[in-house]
A and B are shown apart, each in its own frame.
Chain A
């Protein structure tokens, strides 16, 4: 048999061809277009970050953290109330969304019958809820807290609104984390005489914690950047006190930025830019933590 060479097996097209595939004029044009789209996307983001940084640079100082906002002295005003308010609201959001979301996901994933029409309906709605605009949740939370007699511009109302907003995300990511736990673990536990509830508490949930934590942190960092539902609740834009409980009035960083950015003085603009950078750093830090958790636990030892 004749020796098989690269030339002889490839038929009419030699391996060294330059006339086909990626090298044709159309595909080159298309490739350039792809590159331009990519560059455009990155460029816009970079310009935004750089200009914000340049504008806010002068106001990233200790006063930004320690001082309250001010109508008359924007040069020394700070985001103290907004930072603390964000911490309070996100804390309440986490306390509401995590237990409810994890419990709902555990029910749907571990206990609900696959054939149950009710579970199917819930599942469908959870997916739909994830697409509902944030402001709708603000309206819902406002109506709900007023109905039970709580003023709507309070930390608890803000927490409820944001918890509703991220609940679908928490449920979906928790279900995915539970689904990733090998079935053998559950069977091993059940075969020892553990009840389904014990199996969930002692095996399945602990094994799913990294996944749950990742999804939840990402959801919370999204909630942190939301202004719309809180504005609808009448989140105060001018707060000169530290929030001191769940019934306290509050402002959060996005609201504070919204307020400052809408004022015309140059110093307020700088202040808004500085606060934006701070918010960005916080959100990126949370996402970073989520990524670290995911990477650390993605391979079991």
Chain B
């Protein structure tokens, strides 16, 4: 084990050995965070703002009273232990939760000030503007070209040349050079990392404003993960990204702001309800968290 321990982990009590996995990965930690970034304001300029959002599956309250703002052209990471509701929150942001019967939302999630759960809001329109990349790469059983062209076609986007849209999207997802000679081949022939970048290209093709990523690297190896992370940093110029991750180092590497969720037994009954513990700039969360539970989690003491 080499020594360079992350500055974020210095809050460890002296004498306690640092967890190996964090130590090795944290070698990449400090630099990229600040490289070429604008100074973060204290309060994000919100694209999406959640106010007292509680999410229910039937009678079970999965997430309780989340209030947070997603800043424009920022990467916001949602971290926390399993079952803390971070994926549920993410899927509520573009109404993918609607597809699960029995889900219910309280509070408001406003997109540019408009409640996306408002009565006359079309969830299809919401999903057009707020795209999503899933945990497991899920390309369609079609050619690479058709995978990217599918979105613009179904939403009736007016494009002068679909070829250009496909090339542009694949370039933006850093996949063009690898696939430009086999656009007509099945997307299933690509590696897992390439498939995930194809899914990102597919999402970009419909020109959303926000891209939600639900543990986009959890099925990928470290090299493919690094490529996706680099890609996220590039995409931040044009898009707002919200990412759920189990990997705290990933959050530390890419995110501008980090929200830490945890689950605790709700009052009255034994079900565990997720809630937001702390939401702040990533540097603050990882170096100087306000809440002891955040500190316990990021230093690897639970979760």
Contact with A along B76-107 (1 / 0, CB 8 A): 00000000000000000010100101000000
Most B-side CB within 10 Å, residue of A114, A186, A301:
A301
Partner of A187, one of B96, B128, B151, B154: B96
Confirm or deny: B140 has a beta carbon within 8 angstroms of a beta carbon on chain A.
Answer: yes
Confirm or deny: A188 has a beta carbon within 8 angstroms of a beta carbon on chain B.
Answer: yes
Confirm or deny: A72 has a beta carbon within 8 angstroms of a beta carbon on chain B.
Answer: no
Confirm or deny: B243 has a beta carbon within 8 angstroms of a beta carbon on chain A.
Answer: no
Most B-side CB within 10 Å, residue of A185, A192, A194:
A192
Question: With A185-B141, A198-B154 in contact, do A190 and B189 touch (Cβ < 8 Å)?
Answer: no
- Smallest CB separation, A125 vs chain B (Å): 22
Partner of B155, one of A113, A193, A301: A193
Contact with B along A173-199 (1 / 0, CB 8 A): 000000000101111111111110010
Task: Give the chain A neighbours of B128 by CB distance below 8 A.
Answer: 192-193
- Smallest CB separation, B101 vs chain A (Å): 6
Task: Give the chain B neighbours of A117 by CB distance below 8 A.
Answer: none
Partner of B132, one of A191, A198, A301: A191
Interchain CB contact under 8 A, A195 and B124 = yes
Question: With A115-B101, A184-B136, A188-B134 in contact, do A300 and B154 touch (Cβ < 8 Å)?
Answer: no
Confirm or deny: B227 has a beta carbon within 8 angstroms of a beta carbon on chain A.
Answer: no
Interface residues on B, range: 20 to 34
Confirm or deny: B206 has a beta carbon within 8 angstroms of a beta carbon on chain A.
Answer: yes
Task: Give the chain A neighbours of B150 by CB distance below 8 A.
Answer: 189, 192, 194, 202
Partner of B127, one of A182, A193, A301: A193
Partner of B94, one of A114, A115, A189, A191: A191
Number of interface residues of A (CB under 8 A): 22
Interchain CB contact under 8 A, A203 and B140 = yes
Task: Give the chain A neighbours of B154 by CB distance below 8 A.
Answer: 189, 192-195, 198, 202
Contact with B along A41-57 (1 / 0, CB 8 A): 00000000000000000
Measured between alpha carbons, how far is A220 from B188 in the docked complex, in Å?
Answer: 33
Interchain CB contact under 8 A, B140 and A189 = yes
Question: With A192-B203, A301-B188 in contact, do A187 and B127 touch (Cβ < 8 Å)?
Answer: no
Confirm or deny: B125 has a beta carbon within 8 angstroms of a beta carbon on chain A.
Answer: yes
- Closest B residue to A193 by CB, please name it: B128
Interchain CB contact under 8 A, A191 and B127 = yes
- Smallest CB separation, B273 vs chain A (Å): 24
- Smallest CB separation, A7 vs chain B (Å): 45
Confirm or deny: A207 has a beta carbon within 8 angstroms of a beta carbon on chain B.
Answer: yes
Interchain CB contact under 8 A, A192 and B138 = no
Pick the 4 closest A-B CB pairs, nearest first.
A193-B128, A184-B138, A191-B132, A192-B151
Interface residues of B (CB under 8 A from A): 94, 96, 99, 101, 124-125, 127-129, 131-132, 134, 136, 138-141, 150-151, 154-155, 186, 188-189, 199, 202-203, 206
A-B contact pairs, 20 of them (CB 8 A): A113-B101, A184-B134, A184-B138, A185-B138, A187-B99, A188-B138, A188-B139, A188-B199, A189-B140, A190-B127, A191-B131, A191-B134, A192-B202, A193-B124, A193-B154, A193-B155, A194-B124, A194-B151, A203-B140, A301-B188
